[in-house]
Every structure is written in C-alpha cells, then in structure tokens.
Amino acid sequence: MKPINFSEKNKIFKAPKGMLNCMHIPVYNDSIDTISCWRGSFWDRLRFLFSGKMWMCVHAGETQPPVWISTHYPFENPVEVSE
C-alpha cells in the first residue's frame, strides 16, 4: 500500500529521518481528524479480494490512538464505526 495525493489534502506528514520503509504521507487535517488515502498494488488488491483482511500498523509506542480504515469516501457522509 502506498499513500497517494488527493484533492482535499492540506498537509504532508514527513517521514522521520532514519526510519526505513517510511514515506511522506499527504493528509487532510482539521485539528480533529487526519485523513490519508492509500492505493494498493495489484497484489494487495488480490490478497484483499480473497482474504477480506487488511492490516493496519501504527508506530505509536505503548498506546493506540483512535483510528479507522474504510473504503468509503470520507468527505461526504460520515462513516459510522460498527463492531
């Protein structure tokens, strides 16, 4: 998966120096939410199609900030998180 540009982007989170396999991430940020857009390779999409699984990793130490992953466009109707 790779972060991609999108029209609502208003910031870029830069990769920390010395952190391998980390890239700059274009984001929309309104001081409450931070939204990024990612595109999967052909193989990423194929794996998701057959497994239905997506993994999210957050480099955040001992705590986990609230996050969500969705395939819905987040700038129209808010997505309700379901369990």
Confidence of residue 78 (pLDDT cuts 50, 70, 90): low
pTM of the entire predicted model: 0.76
pLDDT at residue 48, as a whole number:
94
Beta strands in 1-83 (DSSP E): 2-4, 11-13, 25-29, 34-39
pLDDT at residue 77, as a whole number:
67
- C-alpha 70/C-alpha 47 separation (Å) is 17
Give the tens place of pLDDT for each residue, 17-68.
Answer: 888 888 889 999 999 889 999 999 999 999 999 999 998 888 777 777 788 8
pLDDT at residue 43, as a whole number:
95
Find the mean pLDDT for residues 1-11.
Answer: 94
